[in-house]
Chain A
Amino acid sequence: MNNVNVKIENLSVSYDDKKVIDNINYSFYRNEITCIIGASGCGKTTLLKTINRSIEYDENVKTSGNILLEENGHFKNIYDISEEVLRKRVGIVSQNPVVFPFSIYKNLLYPLDYYTKLNKEEKKEKVISVLKKVELYDEVKDNLDKYADNLSGGQKQRLCIARTLLTEPEVLLLDEPCSALDIKNQDVIEKLLLQLKNEITIIIVTHNIKEAEKLKDKIIFMDAGKIIEDGVDIIKNPKSVALKDFLNY
């Protein structure tokens, strides 16, 4: 129980008056990768975005219930933490990578300039180290001052992950990070996530069952805003009709 990092209690979310998440209770554990699977519109992305309150960018969203984040052995409600602090602690990488209209280097300086008081050299070291971590350094080392928008989809996604990692999050949320990537880039990101789980808690939404199987410590299956099944082997041994349908059993 000590390893619980994020605890969700009676969470419901609705857009306008349409309920998208319906009374969910769940705990995410530290140093684990939890994969959320389910059909489109089942509420997986909404659940993910609720955890760092990025769901609230939409003013028509209403939430109820609690999401608790572990802090020095105690749990603190995320609604009692400022949005900025919460999003630093709980980073998110979206499906479509959004790079800032700067150079590759300046994209990575953006969080560093805000969060740290490092000198120029120290910042450069940090940038290089994070680029190596996401296996992007060798590909871009001669083009760090080039516009980040010129990178390929996979490179952009890795740059966005690197940018998020520079904020040193405790929890990393990923919304279908590999859905638009080729196999090579998928492999790189999956390998990176498996490494990262030693440092942080990872929650990933995916459509790709193979990817979920490869990455998972646990898998959650959602349907109509509810968690229907969860566990380690739910793909091999589905119990519910909904999951069997989803997996085409």
Chain B
Amino acid sequence: MKTFSKILQIISYISTILVVGVVLFIYIYFAYRSRNILNINFLLESPKGLVLGEEGGIFPAIIGSIYFSTTAVLIAFFPAICSAIFIKFYAKKRFRRFAHTLIENMASVPSIVLGLFSYTVFVYRLGFGRSIFSAGVALAIMILPFLERRFEKAFDEVDINLINASNNLGIHKYFMILRLVNKESFKEIVSAVLLCYGFAMGALAPMIFTGAVAYSAVPNSIFNPSMALPMHLYLLIAQGETQLDRAYATAFVELMLVLIFNIFAYMLIYKKK
């Protein structure tokens, strides 16, 4: 038993090093491959060149990606938190099980299918055209099940004794959720939003047909299409070996964006604590 425990410990240790190592390697390798490309002009200029992106920068794609992800999170947040509250605090056991099955199935729908849905409904039927909004809806549907389950998990972690103590006072659940659960699960909720923000920022399939374009200026409305980092990255890679370093630089910027958002959010969380 002791040997088994030791082996398990060693495997866990190696796995942790591997996971951390892979992440660090990705950051370092991407930074290394981007070293000749990354500069202030690359960040602040629009893409140029005969083959789009071989010169200039990625500024519209950075702003576009932020728009896409923010729209997606804003659209998904409200239904996700409301359904998590309903399922956790109001639903009966049988409905809870049924809802979980549906939500988990929804999570496994390929994201291109969600893009197709948004393309049909929002781009065509409702006439929003290819826009940040249409793509935002597709991305929101993609992150919705993940966000909902993470919110539920956040609520699960609130001490049941606190919930019962509040119920014992005859206080309605909505008040308890606003005052007590919200405070207790705030950190987890922010972390879930951020995780999904990053997830939306990296997704390409749902926005290909719905809102991302090869070139546009910085959009001035969410009802315009926009460039996005994953789309730009895809187009650069599609051009072959010649644009690979630019592709790495674009990917590195995307990684850093997600990292900055995470750091910013954690600072907010700890400030609040």
Contacts and interface: CB of A to CB of B under 8 A. Distances in A.
Q: Dominant SS at the B interface? A: helix
Nearest to B160: A57
B164 interface: yes
A98 B179 CA distance: 16
B168 A110 contact: no
B164 A54 contact: yes
Contact of B172 (A84, A89, A100): A84
B19 interface: no
A164 B166 CA distance: 10
Contact of B164 (A57, A88, A111): A57
A87 B93 contact: no
A138 B164 CA distance: 29
Contact of A98 (B164, B172, B183): B164
B237 to A, nearest CB: 49
A46 B166 CA distance: 19
A85 B171 CA distance: 8
Interface string A199-225: 000000000000000000000000000
B162 A100 contact: yes
Contacts of B169: 87-88, 91, 110-111, 114, 163-164, 167
A85 B172 CA distance: 9
Contacts of A110: 166, 169, 171, 179-180
A59 interface: yes
A131 interface: no
Interface string B91-122: 01100000000000000000000000000000
A101 B182 CA distance: 12
Nearest to A53: B167
- The SS class assigned to the A binding surface is helix
A114 B171 contact: yes
A83 B90 CA distance: 13
Interface in A71-102: 83-89, 91-92, 94, 96, 98, 100-102
A87 B165 contact: no
Contacts of B180: 100, 110
Nearest to A60: B93
B242 to A, nearest CB: 58
A87 B165 CA distance: 11
A84 B93 contact: no
Interface residues of A, number: 27
A101 B162 contact: yes
B161 interface: yes
Contact of B170 (A59, A88, A102): A88
Contact of A54 (B92, B167, B171, B172): B167
Nearest to A49: B168
A114 B167 contact: no
A164 B93 contact: no
Given A101-B184, A110-B179, A114-B175, A87 B162 contact: no
Interface in B211-237: none
A92 B168 contact: yes
Contacts of A111: 169, 171
A102 B180 CA distance: 9
Nearest to A98: B165
Given A59-B93, A110-B179, A100 B165 contact: yes
Given A54-B168, A91-B168, A102-B183, 6 more contacts: A57-B164, A94-B168, A100-B165, A110-B179, A164-B169, A167-B170
19 contacts: A59-B93, A83-B167, A85-B170, A86-B170, A87-B170, A89-B170, A91-B168, A91-B169, A96-B161, A100-B162, A100-B166, A100-B180, A101-B184, A110-B166, A111-B169, A113-B175, A114-B175, A160-B165, A163-B169
